[in-house]
Amino acid sequence: MKTYGSEPGAPTPVQVGISELIVSEGDDTLKSYGLGSCLAIALYDPDRDIGGLAHVMLPDGDAAEHSDRKPGKYADTAIRALLRRMVEAGANYTAVEAKIAGGSDMFEFESFGEGVGQRNVAAARAELEKLGVPLVAEDVGGEHGRTVEFTPETGTLVVKTADKNADHEVIEL
């Protein structure tokens, strides 16, 4: 979903839909709803309050055609695009830290093989490692959905889970 125009400090969180990535700063909140096997990747520079959130669906963009058209779709290309845009916005590459959430495997279908969620998590970890970005917190895997809210200023990633007993569980990463 695209948002046209933005009011700084607006109370409505900006939605980051599947295959999208948004870089922002300050106390703006970025939100992704209902992640199942998709993965939310949050990067931020704690010194400069600049951060971004990506809602990726697939692991490997380098192996896919046209991944340059939609870098937010793949874990590897999304991380690089987030970093680039954050640096352009004034972030310091070496200070950037990462948090990830999502990557569940909800179904045991034959066609799913080793698990679509796990592959996303593994790809994100590998790309962060390659770029030397420390992964400081994560809430990944399992068999349940998550909704995440990220605030660049504090680097806080709030993860909400609809757990099996319908109690809403909230974790702050």
* Minimal distance, residue 144 CB to another protein, in Å: 6
Query: Does the protein bind another protein through residue 9 (CB under 8 A)?
Result: no
Which residue type sits at 94? T
From CA 138, how far away is CA 100, in angstroms rounded?
A: 5
Q: Which of residues 99-138 bind another protein (CB under 8 A)?
A: 104-112, 116-117, 120
* Minimal distance, residue 159 CB to another protein, in Å: 12
CB 54: neighbour CB atoms within 10 A?
A: 30
From CA 26, how far away is CA 155, in angstroms rounded?
A: 10
Residue 155: both structure tokens together: 């680097």
In the bound state with another protein, the residue whose beta carbon lies nearer, of 36 and 52, is 36
Sheet with 146-151, strands from edge to edge, namely: 14-15, 30-35, 146-151, 156-162, 168-172
* Minimal distance, residue 24 CB to another protein, in Å: 15
In the bound state with another protein, the residue whose beta carbon lies nearer, of 59 and 155, is 59
Query: Does the protein bind another protein through residue 166 (CB under 8 A)?
Result: yes
Q: Which of residues 51-70 bind another protein (CB under 8 A)?
A: 57-58
CB 163: neighbour CB atoms within 10 A?
A: 12
In the block, tokens 């109690």 appear at 167
From CA 163, how far away is CA 126, in angstroms rounded?
A: 29
Catalytic residue, candidates 23, 38, 124, 159: 38
Identify the residue among 50, 146, 148, 151 touching another protein (CB under 8 A).
146
Q: Where on the chain is the footprint of another protein (CB under 8 A)?
A: 1-7, 10-12, 15, 17-19, 33-38, 57-58, 73, 104-112, 116-117, 120, 144-147, 162, 164-166
